[in-house]
Each structure stands twice: as structure tokens, then as C-alpha cells.
Amino acid sequence: MSTQIEEQRETEEEVETEPETESPGERRRAVKRERAAQREQEVETALDEAEETVELKVFRYDPEVADKEEPRFDSFTVPYHKGMTVLDALIYARDVYDSSLTFRHSCRQAVCGSDALFVNGRQRLGCKTQMGDLEWPVRIEPLPHQDVVKDLVVDMEHFYEQMHAVEPYFDPDETPDGELEEQRQTPENREKIKLSTRCIWCGACMSSCNIAAGDNKYLGPAAINKAYRFAMDEREGESRKEERLRIVEQEHGVWRCQTQFSCTEVCPKDIPLTEHIQELKREAIKSNLKFW
Amino acid sequence: MHEHDVIVVGAGGAGLRAAIAAHEHGADVALVTKLHPVRSHTGAAEGGINAALHPEDSWELHAYDTMKGSDYLGDAPAVDTFAKEAPNEVIQLEHWGMPFSREEDGKVSQRPFGGLSHPRTTYAGAETGHHLLHTMYEQVVKRGIEVYEEWFVTRVAVTDHDDPEGRECHGVVGYEIKTGEIDGFYARNGVILATGGLGQAFDHTTNAIANTGDGQAMAYRVGAPMEDMEFVQFHPTTLPSTGVLISEGVRGEGGILYNEAEERFMFEYGYANNEGELASRDVVSRAELTQVNEGRGIEDEYVHLDMRHLGEERILDRLENILHLAEDFEGVDGLEEPMPVKPGQHYQMGGIEVNEHGESCIDGLYAAGECACVSLHGANRLGGNALPELLVFGARAGRHAAGAEMDEPKIPTGPAAESEAGEVDLPVEPGIVGDGSDPVAADGGREADDSRARQTRSDGGAVAIPEEVLERAIEAERDRVDTLLERDGINHADVRAKVQETMTENVNVFREEQNLKQALRDIREAREQYRHVGVADPSRTYNTDLIHTIETRNVIDCAEAITIGALAREEFRGAHWRQQYQERRDDEWLKHTMLAWEDGTPRLYYKPVVLEGHDQTYEPKERSY
Amino acid sequence: MADHYSSFERGGKRWFLQRITAVFLIGVLAFHFVLLHFVNHAAEIEFAGTQARMGNVGYFSLMWTFLVTATFHGVNGVYNALVNQGLDGTQKKVVAAVLTVASLLLILQGTRVALAMSGVL
Amino acid sequence: MSQSYDRGTVESFGRWREFSAGMWAWILHKFTGWILVGYLFTHIAVLSTSTQGAETYTATLQGLEALLIVRFLEIGLLAVAVFHILNGIRLLFVDLGLGLTAQDKSFYASLLLTAAITVASIPTFLGGAL
């Protein structure tokens, strides 16, 4: 212990004295070189020690950086361990090889919906996709059908606009009088909307949808599912439900769905999106035919 | 420059609730958040929301349970206010459409939870946080509240009076992640920090990667003290590779913990002869780590949580979610093999010192949620108490900032509340490194800290014109970012990893003096290294390298505060366990640990715990369940 | 997006008609194929046989309805496919007009053919 | 400062290799639909010869049927029509919310059934032409 403290003191003294002879910039570069050499060593050992390594082919694009203006794929070799997710591999590549590798991520447990990516030709959440379940090398691209801001980051603005277009908020015909009076909801009704409430706004469904790709005005599976979540909630009341149906039955609403099931297949929360869209179509027809 | 009455930083549960409350009181409010609101980590909360709703239950009982759970380090006015207002907040959420789990009669279900004398935890499946977050974001959309998403707030703009209590907060400086633009958010009434946890100070945490203690660190550096930072809750069952939480429900249903020799160690080593695996979180966490440290861990890292004997049917019925988590995040089939688990950082009880209205000692600077310390949870938070906290105190901060009339607060804040100076034997100097001459100093340096600017101003007076305060803060941030982008330096990730490793190694569940000191030395070294960081990515477009580099500075400040507090507190209370001090010592330690950032150097002092509540005074008793 | 609420006319009715015509067409198309390829082989078709069949009022009306529904179902399908690919604005209006005119011409010509076959013309 | 990269429709649709069952069903339904609507126009055009008299009509039809290529095209037409009908039935069930979880299997079933019916009808179509 004591020796460690002394070593520590020495380094501190160095810090105190060295700036006299070296400029901060020089020192910084020296430290950087030292760290870089050390890091290279560490990476080599890590790659040697790892029983397996896996190659990532990652889409790169940055409108501001000369050699990234034209999109390209970069390869990273990452040591593999059991349980490694696509997100883990990307973080390794970024922290060890290239700190400019850009992607959204936060919770790492499939609830924040930040890291929907196009992995080996399919929309998946990076954090809940096991590297071991994929074919190697693993190709990672930003979500298709959305503009790329940089590397794996896509512009989500349009997705959010569509979500907001369905008036995605609880808005009952009437609320209970008493301050501590709750609205009643049957367990069956809660069960009916349960799956639809699981949406994490990751955008995988929208990206997988051929119709949304061609028709920019199409509300898309996520937004329609959001409308379903409220239209089917018995607490809101009949007149609000009618209004909600009117929103989704516009020309670029539910009718555009061609039941390709691509959204349902990629949904990381297993929401039966196509089923919900179909049910809203029937609800809309029923409410318009009236005699059903 | 953007201008609003109230600026809320962070759009998780507390931020959204605060924004809605301020909006309802007529304020022009805006949310500024580094993530899109629905990406906030409130969404990861599983368990539920405690509130005394049943006629047989009462807020007094909830308050008593909370106070007992806090190991008598909670402040009674906060605890009472919390327990009284939680029911209204829960019903409010229900009125906003939250899909609570329901009883047959259509009423909101409530279930029992650890440390509660009555089943008062309302929930929405095992995804309560997700539903709470989305329900409130939807209400924000309904009200048309402005949201600046993917704007990273890097600094709080505060006047530079010598005494922190004389300072006023006039806004924040934000960095738009997509474009690299730096701009000011001028707050006419107040700034509410609701930035959440600091789990990234540890390398194994249930927290999101975005939980880097930004609010705590920013407030700390402009003079709002940090309170009780040593109290960190560790959850005993998290997956080793990712830190994903495996709910207590597995052990509740009968899951068993085994060591490498397949011994049921909770009993065989006598850690909890009665409760076994179901002993309280801190006891189980300590038992697991003891096994690992004594060489009986699997791969020297974790233990096994086995639920196979429960049978496929029961597992699928009650714990299906757990199967998915183990499969998706660890590649383990819980029906076929035991799941690896180890303790992980889960929740920070301490934070920015505020009163019941969410006010810090700096005028116009508020904090709510996990980044704040009211103090409600004291030394240990009960399960299901975090979500109601962010509702109650988020709403109160929003109302107060919007100018609502409220009672005189009973919890004192700021240096004036000091009851005694603190003394702690530190192995290295804490706080900033060097003389602070590094201009923008990736380190933050004395320049980045308003106190230095105050001392160096040629006219010697305090900058008091609000716009000027913000302008100067914007300039400082532009300098900082320019320098980081232009200069050559090391990757922040190395520095962050160093801090995280030492925190997990030395300031974990077990706290021994020499380890805490080692952590402080490592943190010091990390500060040294941080002076040499640079951002390799030259782009202004979505530069996460830059964002993470700035966050790492916040992580360092938080880690240091936790460690100093842990070294100072010489007793065993709640989540804080010291090897040399195995008892709670009420005679000496019934007080809050406070850290004030004075000219770049943390100063330790204490303030008394307020045990006098609204109707009753709490008597510290032995905490046994 | 949500500022104009559309009525049933905007898409729902055509969607519904597409399904109703589909149900009808499934039966009639199958019948048509079986009758004119399996019962009567296409190669053996003569005007006389056609005239005999079309002389029957029931068969005539079935075939004429077949023509109309098939035209609607087909042309509406084409229009939907184009709209799905993002057809919009003036272009969309032009396409709608062209397709409507084409449909009407087809039905008109089809009717003339049918009348000729039944010997009325 | 901020601009984004639009990958364009072509690149988006270059992803057909990664299509799943439901997407293939959609593509095939559209494709067969286009053929059928095209055939409808052609069919009426051919039948229009009836307005020029019985002989012209009979001669045109039998002349066409004498061509082997037409016989093969007819087999193709049958395949197209059968698939469109079967998949159409599948889609009607989907619209009614029935059997959604088996939507991929019902697509494969439509394909197999189409193939079977087509193969079985070859003798009838080619009868007399060879």
C-alpha cells in the first residue's frame, strides 16, 4: 500500500513540475501517444486471449468529414464472449477503435427504444440481439427508409410527427368528480390494450414497412397502434372513440396497410401491429355502416 | 437564445411531472433533454408506485415505513409531505390514462412490497416505469409543452456572488446534439434539474448509459451542496454482462442462490438463517460478494440464481419476463440452466440538497427526482418509493417555480444549515487539478467554475445582470467545446473506465478504509488524465464522442463526492456498510453528510436530520424486519 | 397531418368495395375459367357457342357484372398500388382521371361486345 | 451544419433479398394483379372481334389457340389467376382478423396449391395443340 502512495506522489510531482519545460499541448500529445501504445497492446492481448473474434461491418457516413461524405462500410474485429449483444460489440468498437463511431443507446435493456438498427438485413434492437444468434460477419446499418444523420443515427423527426398526428394522449369524454375517485376499467379491457401499450417508439416497424417507405403520409404501424391503444380503452368513452377512428380512417391511415406483417415481425416488444391495424379497419367500417 | 418562464432539464418522470405542474400554474415552460423524453430511464422502472389508497391504509403508515426504511436519515417534513401527496399523484396518473393493473371491480390493483406494512404498491404489470413515462409524455404532448429534445445541458448559469445563498440561477447552456449548436435557455422564473441518476460512476449498474450524474455535478459546481452521496443502493440480482435487473420476484417465488460449489450459501454460511434468499437487498448483496471475494464465485465474478425447480409452468406463468431478459441479455435459458447474477449499482439516495419545494440554496435553481436529495430515502430507499417521489416532488418543484403560493419550507438548505464542520482524512487532495489555467479546461478547471471567474473579474463585483450571466456561460461553453474539438488528446473512455472500475472495486457494497482511499487516489489520477482528453471526432454533427467526454467530467465529480462521503461516515447505516464500524451510531451520525464545492475544492460539513414531521416527531428505532 | 379529418369517402369505401368485389370475383373468375377452359375447351370456342351462352339472360348479366366488378377491382388495385408508392398532388389527380376514363371505355366496349355476342346488336 | 443522407427509394427496394413471407405475398399479389388487369383489357380487345361478325370472331379465337405460345401463356394466366384467388382468400381472412399468426403458412399453402392446380391443368390446356 505504502509504496503505491509514493508512486502516486511521484506522478503528482511530475505534474507539478513538468509544465515548466513542456507546453500543455505537447504533454497532452505525449500522454496520448503513451495511451495509444498501451491501448494497442491491450487490444492485441484481448484479441489473442479471446477464444473467438467476430467481425462487424458498420455503415459510416458523416456529412462534415471529408472521407465519410460518401457512405462506406468499416470493419471492426471484436473479441466475442457468450452473452455479447450487438450493442456491446458496437460499444467495444467505439471505445477501443474509433471514438467517432456514432449510434444512439441508453438503457441497454430494450425499454428506451434508442438502438433500433438494421442488423444482417433486419430491424432489431442492438441491445437485445445476441451476437451468437447472428450469421458472422455481422452487417450493421442505420434503419432503412429514414434519412441518415450520421453513421447509425437516423432522423426520427418524421416518426415522431406521425406519432403526434394521432393525438396520442388520454382524453376522456368525462372525468370522475372526486379528487381521489378513480376511473374504472375492467381487467379484460386492460388486457385488450396491454400489448399496444408496450410500444417503445423505436421505429423498427415504420422502417420495415414498404408502404411507409413509398407513402410518406402514411401514419405507419406505430402511430396506428398508438391510436388503437386509446380507441380501445373503455375509459375514454364513445364520442372520443369516434373521433379517433376518424383520424385513422383518413386516406393515408389504416387503408394503406397492405398486411405484409413486416412490422409485426420486427417489433421487439412483440406487439401484434398488423392485427391492431386490421381491427381498426373493421371498427371504422362498422362505425360507418352503422347497421353492423 | 431561447426564453421561457421555467426551464426543466431532463424529461424523465420528475422532469415531465414538473413541466406539467408548472404549465398548469400558467407558466411558459420548456423541457430540455439530452434524450427524446420517451428514452428516459424512468421507463426501466419495474416494480410500482407506493401510495396509501386503501381506506384501511393511511399516509401516516406510509410515512412511518419510509422513515424506518431510511434508517432514520430521512427528513420528516419530506417524508410526511411525500406520503400525504402520493395518493393524489397516483389518482392523477390514473386520470391521465395510465394503464394500471386492475382488480375485478375495475379499481387499481395494489400489491405488497418489501418494507411496507400494507399492500400499497400500485403497478402496471412489471413495466410500471414505462407506462408512467409514456403516460406523462403524452400529457406533455397534449398540453403542447415545448420540448427541446437531444439538447445536452452542459452548464447552469448562476450569478457569481461569494455566498452560494446569494446566487441566482438564470438559465442553462445547451448543446444541440444533432447540429453542434450551443445556445442559452434563459429562465425567467427558475431552472428545474431533473437529470436522474449517476449509475455510470460504476461499471456495473442497472442504470442507463445516459445516467452520468450531469445535474448533480452541474449544480455542485455552481454552489449547490451535495447531500448524503455515500448512500448508494446495490441490487443483489443483476446480470453480470449488462447489469440488467432480474426482479426480486424470482427469489419471491422461490429462486435459490448457489455458489460455485453449488452450496446454498445464504443458509450454509449463515448470512440469513431465517429469510435466506429473501433477506433485504443489502444483506443479500453483501453475502454474494463475500462468496466471490472468498473464491467461491463462478468465474470469480458472480453466483447462480436457480429457478429451474419451480417448473416450467410456474415460471411461464409468473416470471416469463425474466426468461426473456436472461435469454436476450445473457444468452442463458432460465428453464435449462441457472442464471448468473451479481450485485449492481441501482439507485442513488443522495443528491442535490433541496427542500420540500425542490429548491436548492441557489435562488431559482430547483432539483427533483433521483438527482435531488430532499431527503426522503435517507440511507436506504424502499422499493416502490422512487416513482411516487418523482411525482410528488417533481410536481411541487414545478408549481413553486411557476410561482404558486406554498407553505414555508421546513427543511433548511445551504451553508447556513451547517451544524458542524466535517473532518476527513483524505489520501490525496480532492477537487480540481492544477492551477486552473487551462482555459476551458476539459477538466472544467477553475475557469469552468463560476467562483474563479468571480475572483478574476476586473471590476471585482458580482455579475448580476441575468442576461450577462447567461451570455458569459454560453461563451465559456463555446470555448470549452471548441478546445475539446480542436486539440489532440486521449480518449475519455479510458478515464471513465478507470473511475468506474475503481468505484466498483472499492466503493461497492463493502467499504473498507484503505479501499476508499485507493478509490480517491484513482479518481485523482483520473482527474489528472482528464486534463489530457481530446475529442477525436472533429464533426459538429451528432458528436457523441464530445457528449460522452463532457459527461465523464460529471461522472468524476460524482464519484469523488460518493467516496468522500463514504470515507467520512464512520458507521453502518442503511446501504452504507463500513468494515470497521458495524453499527448504526445515532449519537454521532444522525446527520446528513454535506459537500460544498468551494473554488474547486469540496468542503465537508454536516447538517442535522429533521425528525420533527407535520404531526409527529419520529424516534429512531432499531431497523429490523 | 391530423388537421383535416376525412370521411368514409376518403378511402374506407373503396377499401370496403375492393373486398366485396373480391369475394364476388373469386367465385366468378373460377367459374369463368372452369367453364371456358375445362368444360368448353378454349380452342373449340366458336361464335355460335358464345352466342348460345350469352343469349341466356342470367349468364349475360353475370358476365356483365363480372366485367364491371373486375374493372373496378383491377383499376382500383392499380390506383392503390400507385398511391402506395407516394403518388400525390396533380399527378395523382391525373392518374385518377386517366384510370377512370380507361375503366369507363373498357366497360363501354365490353358492353358493346357482350351485346354483339348475345345477338342484340 | 446538419444535413442528412437520403438513401432513396431504389436502395430501399433493393432490400427484396431480405423480404419475409408476408412481403413476398404482397409483391406477388400486386404482380399477379397487374397481369390480370392487363389481361382484362387485352381480353376485351380480342373479344371485340365479335362486333365484326361471327366468322372473324371464330377465326381469331381459333387462330390464337392454334399457337403453342398462347397455350403456354394460358397456363401462366391460370397460375396467376389461381394464386391471386387463393392469396386473395388469405387476405380476406386477414381482414377479418382470422388466422393472423399463421399468415406465413397460409401464404406457402397458397403457393403450393397454385403449383398443384397449374401442373394438373397442363394436359387440359395443351390438349389438341401438340
Domain architecture of chain B: domains with CATH: 2-232+347-408 (3.50.50.60), 236-343 (3.90.700.10), 445-584 (1.20.58.100)
Total structural domains in chain C?
Answer: 1
| Number of Cα atoms under 13 Å in the Cβ half of residue D67 | 9
**CATH code for the domain of D22:** 1.20.1300.10
Average pLDDT of chain C to the nearest whole number: 86
**Nearest CA distance, B2 vs chain D (angstrom):** 19
Q: Do residue A215 and residue C8 have CB atoms under 8 angstroms apart?
A: no
The answer to whether C8 and A255 are in contact (CB under 8 A) is no
Using the beta-carbon criterion (under 8 Å), do D58 and C112 form an inter-chain contact?
no
Local confidence band at B458 (pLDDT 50, 70, 90 cut-offs): very low
Shortest distance, CA D104 to any CA of chain C (angstroms)? 21
Cα(D25)–Cα(D23) distance, rounded to whole angstroms? Answer: 5
Annotated catalytic residue, options B62, B155, B204, B235? B235
Nearest-by-Cβ selection for D100 from A63, A262, A275 = A275
Q: How far apart are CA D29 and CA D89, in angstroms?
A: 11
Distance from CA of A203 to the nearest CA of C (A): 19
- CATH number, domain with residue C58: 1.20.1300
Contact list, A64 vs chain B (CB under 8 Å): 538-541
What is the structure's pLDDT at D130?
56
Q: Does A24 touch chain B (CB under 8 A)?
A: yes
Give the per-residue pLDDT at A5: 38
Of A64, A95, A235, the CB nearest to B540: A64
Residue D8 pLDDT = 65
Q: Using an 8 Å Cβ cutoff, are B226 and B561 in contact?
A: yes
Angle B471-B474-B476 (CA atoms, 0-180°, nearest 5)?
110
- Which positions 86-125 of D are in contact with A (Cβ < 8 Å)? 91, 94-97, 100, 103-104
Q: What's the rounded Cα separation, in Å, for the pair B560 and B432?
A: 11
Residues C8, A247: C-beta atoms closer than 8 Å:
no
Contact A284 C84 (CB under 8 A): no
Angstroms from B276 CA to nearest CA on chain A: 28
pLDDT of residue A8: 43
Quickly state the pLDDT bin for B433 (edges 50, 70, 90). Answer: confident
pLDDT of residue B446: 39
Cβ of D83 under 8 Å from any chain C Cβ? no
3-state SS assignment for residue C79: helix
Q: Greatest CA span in chain A, whole angstroms?
A: 91
pLDDT of residue A188: 94
Contacts of C33 in chain D (CB under 8 A): 78, 81
Helices within B233-381 (DSSP H only) = 249-252, 265-268, 281-293, 312-318, 320-330
If we measure between CA atoms, which residue out of D3, B76, B478 comes closest to residue A68?
A: D3
CB–CB of D37 and C78 under 8 A?
yes
To the query of whether residue B251 is one of the catalytic residues in this protein, the response is yes
Q: What is the pLDDT of residue C47?
A: 84
Torsion sign (Cα): B367, B368, B370, B373? positive
Q: In chain A, positions 156-185, which contact chain B (CB-CB < 8 Å)?
A: 156, 160, 164, 167-172, 175-176, 179-185
B158, B160, B163, B166 alpha-carbon torsion, rounded to 10°: -60
CA dist A53 → A99, A128, A173 (Å): 20, 20, 58
What is the domain count for chain D? Answer: 1
Residues D36-43, mean pLDDT to the nearest whole number: 94
**ipTM of this predicted structure:** 0.90
A139 lies within 8 A of chain D by CB: no
pLDDT of residue C9: 52
B276 lies within 8 A of chain D by CB: no
Q: For residues D66 and D77, which has the higher predicted lDDT (pLDDT)?
A: D77
Residue D3 domain-assigned (yes or no): no
Contact C6 A217 (CB under 8 A): no
pLDDT bracket for residue C4 (50, 70, 90): very low
Q: Please, which residues 416-435 of chain B have a Cβ atom closer than 8 Å to chain A?
A: 427-428, 433-434
Sequence length of chain B is 625
How far away is chain C from the Cα of D63, in angstroms, using its nearest Cα?
9
**Homologous superfamily of domain range A44-153:** Beta-grasp domain (3.10.20.30)
Task: State which H helix or E strand residue C24 sits in.
Answer: helix C12-33
Confidence band of B619 (pLDDT split at 50, 70, 90): very high
Confidence of residue B436 (pLDDT cuts 50, 70, 90): low
pLDDT higher than 60, residue C58: yes
Confidence of residue D19 (pLDDT cuts 50, 70, 90): confident
What pLDDT band is residue C44 in, cutting at 50, 70 and 90? confident
Q: Kindly report, residue by residue over B479-533, the tens digit of the pLDDT.
A: 889 999 998 899 999 999 999 999 999 999 999 999 999 999 999 999 999 988 9
CB pairs under 8 A between A and B: 222
Catalytic: B36? no
Q: Is the pLDDT of residue B78 over 70?
A: yes
CATH number for region A156-176+184-289: 1.10.1060.10
Quickly list DSSP for B565-585.
Answer: HHHH--S-BTTB-BTTB-S--
Distance from CA of D81 to the nearest CA of C (A): 8
Q: Which residues in chain A touch residue C12, judged by CB atoms under 8 angstroms apart?
A: 249, 255, 284-285, 288
CA separation for the pair A135, A146 (Å, rounded):
25
Q: Which residues, at least 6 apart from B403, have a Cβ–Cβ distance to it below 8 Å?
A: B25, B26, B27, B189
pLDDT the model gives residue A275: 96
Of B546, B557, B434, nearest to B491 by C-alpha is B546
**Tens digits of per-residue pLDDT, B324-335?**
889 888 889 999
The catalytic position among B17, B251, B496, B511 is: B251
Whether the predicted pLDDT of B440 surpasses 50? no
A46-to-A40, A43, A82, A96 alpha-carbon distances in Å: 10, 5, 15, 11
Whether B247 shows a pLDDT value over 70: the answer reads yes
What residue in A sits closest to C15 (Cα-Cα)? Answer: A255
Long-range contacts at C109-116 (CB < 8 A, ≥ 24 apart):
C109/D44, C109/D48, C110/C64, C110/C67, C110/C71, C110/D44, C111/C64, C111/C67, C112/D48, C112/D51, C113/D44, C113/D47, C113/D48, C113/D50, C113/D51, C114/C54, C114/C60, C114/C63, C114/C64, C114/C67, C116/D50, C116/D51
Range with the poorest average pLDDT among B93-97, B118-122, C40-44: C40-44
Chain B residues 376-415 within an 8 A CB cutoff of chain A: none
Residue B439, pLDDT above cutoff 50: no
Q: Is A155 on the interface with D (CB under 8 A)?
A: yes
C-alpha closest to that of B391 among B347, B346, B348, B358: B358
Q: How many residues does chain A have?
A: 292
Within-domain flag for D73: yes
Do C and D have ≥3 inter-chain CB pairs under 8 A? Answer: yes
What is the Cα–Cα distance from A33 to B584, expressed in whole angstroms?
A: 49
Express each pLDDT in C61-86 by its tens digit. Answer: 999 999 999 999 999 999 988 988 88
**D122, part of any domain:** yes
Chain D CB within 8 Å of residue B538 CB: no
D61 contacts C45? CB cut-off 8 A: yes
DSSP state of A148: E
| Averaged pLDDT in 10-residue chunks for chain A of 292 residues | 38 45 74 80 80 93 91 95 92 96 95 96 94 94 93 96 97 85 94 96 95 90 98 94 92 91 95 96 86 46
When pLDDT is averaged across residues D36-59 and rounded to a whole number, the result is 90
How close B218 comes to chain D (CA, Å)?
A: 28
Residue D26 lies in a domain: yes
If you average pLDDT over residues D80-87, what whole number do you get? 95
What does the pLDDT average to over B195-214? 96
Chain B residues with CB under 8 Å of D2 CB are: 178-179, 541
User: What is the extent of the structural domain holding D74?
Assistant: 8-126
Sign of CA dihedral B372, B373, B377, B380: positive
Residue C99, in any domain of the structure: yes
Q: Is C19 on the interface with D (CB under 8 A)?
A: yes
Question: Does D15 fall in a domain?
Answer: yes
- Average pLDDT over every residue of B302-316: 91
Domain that holds residue C48: 8-118
Residue D2 lies in a domain: no
| Chains touching B, CB cut-off 8 Å, 3+ pairs | A, D
**CB spacing of A114 vs B332 below 8 angstroms:** no
Q: Is the pLDDT of residue C20 over 80?
A: yes
